[in-house]
Amino acid sequence: MTAPFPTHKQEEWRYADLDALKPVWEQFAEPVTLTVGAGESLEEVWLPVADDVQLRRVQLALGAGAKARLFVLNTAPVYGRIELEVSLEEGAEFELHGANIGTGLSTNEIVTRVRHVGVGGRSRQVVRSVLNGKAVGSYLGKVEVARGAQKTDAEQSVKAMLIDRGATANCKPELEIFADDVKCAHGASVGELDPMQLFYAESRGMDPATARALLVEGFVMGLWESAKQPEAISNAARDALRRVV
Amino acid sequence: MLDISNLHATVADKPILNGVSLHVPAGEVHAIMGPNGSGKSTLAYVLAGRPGYEVTEGSASFEGRDLLAMEPHERAAAGLFLGFQYPVEIPGISYLQFLRESLNAQRRSRGEAELSGSEFIKLAREQANLLGMDTEMLKRPVNVGFSGGEKKRAEMVQMGIMQPRFALLDETDSGLDIDALRIVGDGINRIMRAPDKGVLLITHYERLLEHVHPDRVHVLIDGRIARSGDIQLARELESSGYAEAVA
């Protein structure tokens, strides 16, 4: 049976483009489950596809000492949503390196719920959004630390860059902590290109368009530096940025 | 080569330059000294075209072309180089990538062939070595984590790679220890001392001038050139201060 169609009243669907989602809901509603057994490692690169509406709902269960790293590029032409529910057993490590690159009227969002259930888990989420026109890019990230999940180390770093004034970025890191010896850091910023960086690049000979493209590239491309095979996602991100900047 | 005439400029509607006139012929190095707030950096920024620095009167031309009508990148392609007082950090972009993009953009606009990756790395390595800079640093993001002295040295490496016709150097000597000062001074002489090149060197200290031996020294006060002379003027300023020297 298909999960009930969401509404904007649900916090995790607040910024979603439900009109775009409606016709394809049945196809995507059922979450995919990934399990990484104790001590094992998983690294995945999620590239965008050609569809106007793209939805990925994934439940990721990490056993004791398991490691998972996800590199995600979210750049659907109409509506893209990456939805992740992650659970970490003792000593598990989870990394998400994600980008929303949106143009025109598109909505792209990364929505995560990371549950630290075991002691000493580590999660690190880094999300960068680059948006032009009237595009919307969102990160809604909830980190839950269960009672007894001491020594949890959770980090969320969220930054958005708006190329045009009409674009919108939503950043909502959220913490729910039921243990007293944990480290949970989060930072969020929304900005435009730095005028001094632009002038520096132009004073070296780059025309304004080249300078803007390079600075935005620098803002995003650091995400893939730790990937084992960064080529495909780097190229896809570069292509996406060319449409935006 | 560089002709500045009665230049007035404002920053945020505040007048900073109040009629600067200056002529730097090809083959010469001129120094500008002056107290804090006298307009030295503003002059450099106006000549390089920084947004927000508005020229209200006067003119500036470079090799007969109206400098003030050109965009910052066009000035660079014409051969103007600004050495920044505070070099800007750019996370996520390596120095090599930044400089290769810059140089190739200049070359494209001059109708010259772009340098390949390997040609560029060879050039960058040569210039870094000449200025005593570890080539590994060029793989790091632009100026991120560099000390004050390393940033200034990196500006000189950039100048060596760009080979400009004219360099505006804004307090390139500040933040340098004595050895680094000598290396930078030698770099300026090696890269810019040529019959068809020119330098305008902004500094607070006479020490760099002992390495570079400027042909002329100007004192900028309240947005005007208050006095001009040779290196003897710089030595006089060093010992007696601005108030006495221009009284």
Q: Across the interface, do B73 and A221 touch by the CB < 8 Å criterion?
A: no
Chain A positions in Cβ-Cβ contact with residue B78 (cut-off 8 Å): none
Among the partner-chain residues A205, A214, A215, the one whose CB lies closest to the CB of B73 is A205
The pLDDT of B12-26, averaged and rounded, is 96
Average pLDDT, integer, range A140-167 = 95
Check pLDDT > 70 for residue A208. Answer: yes
- B49, B91, B102 member nearest A218 (Cβ): B91
Q: What is the pLDDT of residues B48-105, one digit of tens each?
A: 999 999 999 999 999 999 999 999 999 999 999 999 999 999 988 999 999 999 999 9
What residue numbers bound the domain in which B100 lies? 2-245
pLDDT tens by residue, B98-117: 999 999 999 999 999 999 99
Give the chain B residue nearest A205 (alpha carbons).
B73
Of the residues A203, A206, A210, A224, the best mutation for testing chain B's interface (the one with the most B CB atoms within 10 Å of its CB) is: A203
Per residue, the 3-state secondary structure of B170-230, as one string, reads: ECCCCCCCHHHHHHHHHHHHHHHCCCCCEEEEECCCCHHHHHHCCCEEEEEECCEEEEEEC
Q: How many domains does chain B have?
A: 1
Q: What is the mean pLDDT of chain A?
A: 94
Q: What is the pLDDT of residue B103?
A: 96
Q: In Å, how far is A223's CA from the nearest CA of chain B?
A: 9
Per-residue model confidence (pLDDT) at position A131: 96
- Percent of chain B that is helix, strand, coil (3-state, to 5): 40, 30, 30
Interface test with B, best of A204, A212, A214 (most B CBs within 10 A): A204
| Mean of pLDDT values over A148-167 | 94
CB contact under 8 A, B92 and A207: no
Helix (H) / strand (E) element for B66: namely strand B65-66
Pairing of strands A41-46, A32-36: unpaired
Residue A130 has pLDDT above 60, yes or no: yes
Nearest CA in chain A to B46: A203
Q: What is the pLDDT of residue A1?
A: 56
Q: What is the mean pLDDT of residues A9-21?
A: 95
**Is the pLDDT reported for residue B240 higher than 90?**
no
Average pLDDT over residues A108-122: 98
pLDDT range class, residue B243, cuts 50, 70, 90? confident
Question: Cα distance from B223 to chain A (closest Cα, Å)?
Answer: 23
**Are the CB atoms for A80 and A47 separated by under 8 Å?**
no
Q: Which of A205, A214, A221 sits opposite B76 (nearest CB)?
A: A205
How far A207 CA lies from chain B's nearest CA (Å)?
6
The pLDDT of A155-163, averaged and rounded, is 94
Angstroms from B60 CA to nearest CA on chain A: 17
Of B50, B73, B103, the CB nearest to A207: B73
CATH number for the domain spanning B103: value is 3.40.50.300
A200 and B99 within 8 Å at the Cβ level: the answer is no
Do the Cβ atoms of A205 and B77 come within 8 Å? yes
Is the predicted pLDDT of residue B246 greater than 90, yes or no?
Answer: no
CB contact under 8 A, B49 and A204: no
Indicate whether B44 pLDDT > 60: yes
Mean pLDDT for the stretch of residues B15-22: 96
Query: For B129-162, how does the pLDDT look when each residue is reduced to its tens digit (9 = 90+)?
Result: 999 899 899 999 999 999 888 999 999 999 999 9
Q: How confident is the model at residue B180 (pLDDT cuts 50, 70, 90)?
A: confident
CB-based contacts of B120-125 (< 8 A; 24+ apart in sequence): B120/B96, B121/B96, B123/B161, B124/B96, B124/B99, B124/B100, B124/B157, B124/B161
Residues of A in contact with B165 (CB under 8 A): none
Task: Give the mean model confidence (pLDDT) for residues A202-215.
Answer: 94
